[in-house]
Structure 1
């Protein structure tokens, strides 16, 4: 299959060195996966520069190289395509190689700090329930119609993205909903895709270990909306102060949603309890099993997106009432002893505060909130003290523990979290590094009617320690302890 002509059509080539015709049957940006029919793209990554692996890729037999700078050593029988930006070229080439599948789908991207997984998954559930073959890219899992595929990244690399989308198209999918991370935008993983629309959820403190400054983080998110086409839509949460900033240079049709002020899509919480909440969405009543202001915003994003994609309002409202909770997102477990546990993925100060505020709006006098929370290792350290401060301010008791320490000492992480706790509040805090023991302690301290919040890991079924992932599921631990303690009362 000759790919040379198409390659020039897919991405701008500044210089061609080698054969005027070349064919390849696969693309790679990892020299370890190169074969005799590979096109190798030398991408400059965060930690590694693919240009240093050009020789290795050629030794493995690749037939062509895409790079920004030609190697000093000349190579025979290898074609070089010199481009300005190899990361951008990779995304564009991957899209073209797989037949531009995003153009054959109604692809909607969801970006923001919190809510991406919930919104994308709700949309997948909604459209599947309406009878549409639908695809999903999310932190929890990817789906091609009903077929589940394990997810390794919030947003996969361009080759994986386009390969899976090609499979979606071949399987008859009409729609695809995708989480779009700030890393993916910055690394141009989604640059070769055509989006029918984009959703902005919110922007709070996160990923500063990668972006370094909040302004850089904001610009990364904004870049997604800067590149939406005129025929697309941009659905923006204007309850977030950065909402309209996102679309300052956006060519797409701009629509807004809010639970606080006038917007194209507006909601009001009428009633809320642990079983769910009654909402008014654009003056229409709907019952949903989700609770909390943040979920009211998430549901509005889903409603607005479905309407913008052409679905009848009454069918969308009916579909919203049938949605189920996303794994590890405000997932409740009840003990026979009258204790409620909430497992949530909240791993940023804002997300944690939202969950705690939601619980506090529902819990009754005499009911205590015991929060178990940690912070991930090898990630943004500046949010650690803020996570602890938020937990302590909104909880009756707090147990600081290990999350995914990765290569860091979990005791050091907890010590850094404690820096956010005022001395007068330290009486409310206990530090238990072993996460299972921390959860067990919270369950033992809880009395009938109390609520336990276990935050940070949500759907994850592992704990990463010193580079090794050990099986660990907060929900399994809670169920196990609840079964052991059901005879206490």
Structure 2
């Protein structure tokens, strides 16, 4: 049943007061004579300052937004982040009813000001109220970790869709899906809180019962999930990432932000043996949050009794291949084994499968449910996607979203496990995001330079930082004198060059050539100067050239 969004001014005041966020409500009086304070600032002595909801005229907001260009008559505007006073030009003419801000703008607008101590927290709480608290109608699952979030989210959604008849929504760094079937490319790993609750309302109205979502460290850093409690939270792993002056100043800050998911969860799923996992387990114990662990073992002998490494343990049947057995013990202590063969390669995807099984069990799905097998058919475009050259069987390519030390290391581990016996010549095509996460640049080089034959540095997403500067920075970190490394700023040309080089070597030497294009996957744009510039996509370029 659809629920029309609604929120009144008085109810908004009550919510903010209850959360101890409200400083005061300012109702401007433009009929009064203006005076100046001791510092020469204009002030209106007749403006009403109050904390009493009953003292203000009630208004039913027609819309809520954090974009001043989308103000509607009787709308509510959140002045968050880098908001500038000049953004309010034309707000009164557009009919703005009220705004939420940490500072008054009484000289800029006649709208009522809700002055708060934290605009991001206020936006999250009021957005949830405006959209009718959709989280209360869903079993909400949040997944965090440095790597594996997206694949684990897709595995989890597939199982829950199979178990419920397609009633699981998904919010990921690749796609958002509010009806269990239709996928649209996403912009952020975790949406802004206002967008998050709007999409959750769409999911509820579409009949969804579950929501699986990725939760980034930034989601807690900038409070996109403030006030949201997860029915199940998963913490997969941790390694340094997103450390930069505009993201996380230190690894400790990055880890601390991710750890906030524990105190905002009813149940926790935790990767057994993860670095600093004991600290996360201690967080859970301190908050009274039950914890389930998951792990992968190389012991595939299901006939031999063995100690379980975790509450959910998967046994690899052929290391390097995405095959495993899930061994369970019933109430009569009898063991059963279910064999899985994933469509997505790599031992790390088996770990993601283990996490997904632990998550759905924590969410109430039986460990014996046939729905678990739905993981086998999951494929994610642009993630561990294999391409075969039509002109030479010794030339292949993988497209993946790997973008840091941990994910590049895992990708190369997989290549050597799968193809090492053929002594492959590996070419890596990569860039790194601009204006953030400078640690990724050195991480990618450190993970790759001693394990590949050629490095092609190219463009990736950036706001204002010059792409050439990013490539030069990465190139300066190469210390392996035997590595062929070059810079080709145009990403299409970079991939085409990698393919041409691989074909030439395969023809001359008759050996396997593997091209790894990482970072962009299937994305059909490159962010440049804060604009999305159209791009064929890594998958598109490779598919086209391989067909020629």
1:353 aligns with 2:418: no
1:254 to 284, 288, 291: 291
Question: Could you tell me how far apart the structure 1 residues matched to 2:525 and 2:233 are?
Answer: 31
Partner of 2:489: 433
Partner of 2:318: 271
DSSP-derived class of the 2:136 partner? helix
Q: Give the deviation of 1:2 after TM superposition.
A: 6.5
Partner of 2:231: 196
Question: Could you tell me how far apart the structure 1 residues matched to 2:204 and 2:346 are?
Answer: 36
Partner of 2:127: 94
Partner of 1:85: 118
DSSP-derived class of the 2:436 partner? coil
Asked if the contact 2:13/2:114 (under 8 Å) is kept, the reply is: no
Q: How does 1:256-335 map to 2 (within 5 A)?
A: 256-259=293-296, 262-272=309-319, 276-280=322-326, 282=328, 284-315=338-369, 318-335=372-389
Asked if the contact 2:62/2:72 (under 8 Å) is kept, the reply is: no
DSSP-derived class of the 2:482 partner? helix
Partner of 1:234: 268
Asked if the contact 1:299/1:320 (under 8 Å) is kept, the reply is: no
Asked if the contact 2:316/2:323 (under 8 Å) is kept, the reply is: yes
Question: Could you tell me how far apart the structure 2 residues matched to 1:478 and 1:371 are?
Answer: 13
Deviations 1:15-74 (A, max 9, x none): 33442423212112222211221122222x1xx136675676445321122233334649
Partner of 1:70: 104
Q: How many residues align?
A: 475
Question: Could you tell me how far apart the structure 2 residues matched to 1:317 and 1:33 are?
Answer: 43
Q: Give the deviation of 1:4 after TM superposition.
A: 3.4
Alpha carbons of structure 1 residues 239 and 397: separation in structure 2 relative to 1, 3 Å:
farther
The answer for unaligned runs of 5 or more in structure 1 is 485-489
Alpha carbons of structure 1 residues 3 and 324: separation in structure 2 relative to 1, 3 Å:
same
1:16 to 19, 25, 29: 25
Question: Could you tell me how far apart the structure 2 residues matched to 1:243 and 1:59 are?
Answer: 54
Q: Give the deviation of 1:468 after TM superposition.
A: 4.7
Q: Please say which structure displays the higher CA radius of gyration.
A: 2
Asked if the contact 1:392/1:429 (under 8 Å) is kept, the reply is: no
Asked if the contact 1:281/1:300 (under 8 Å) is kept, the reply is: no
Q: How does 1:437-452 map to 2 (within 5 A)?
A: 437-446=493-502, 447=506, 449-452=512-515
What TM-score, normalized by structure 1, do the two folds share?
0.89
What TM-score, normalized by structure 2, do the two folds share?
0.80
Deviations 1:117-154 (A, max 9, x none): 11112222222233131211112221122233342222
Alpha carbons of structure 1 residues 359 and 2: separation in structure 2 relative to 1, 3 Å:
closer
Alpha carbons of structure 1 residues 64 and 411: separation in structure 2 relative to 1, 3 Å:
closer
The answer for unaligned runs of 5 or more in structure 2 is 1-5, 28-55, 298-307, 329-336
Question: Could you tell me how far apart the structure 1 residues matched to 2:85 and 2:309 are?
Answer: 51
Question: Could you tell me how far apart the structure 1 residues matched to 2:62 and 2:185 are?
Answer: 25
Q: Give the deviation of 1:256 after TM superposition.
A: 1.4
DSSP-derived class of the 1:418 partner? helix
1:461 to 510, 515, 524: 524
Question: Could you tell me how far apart the structure 2 residues matched to 1:400 and 1:163 are?
Answer: 39
DSSP-derived class of the 2:141 partner? strand
1:362 aligns with 2:415: no
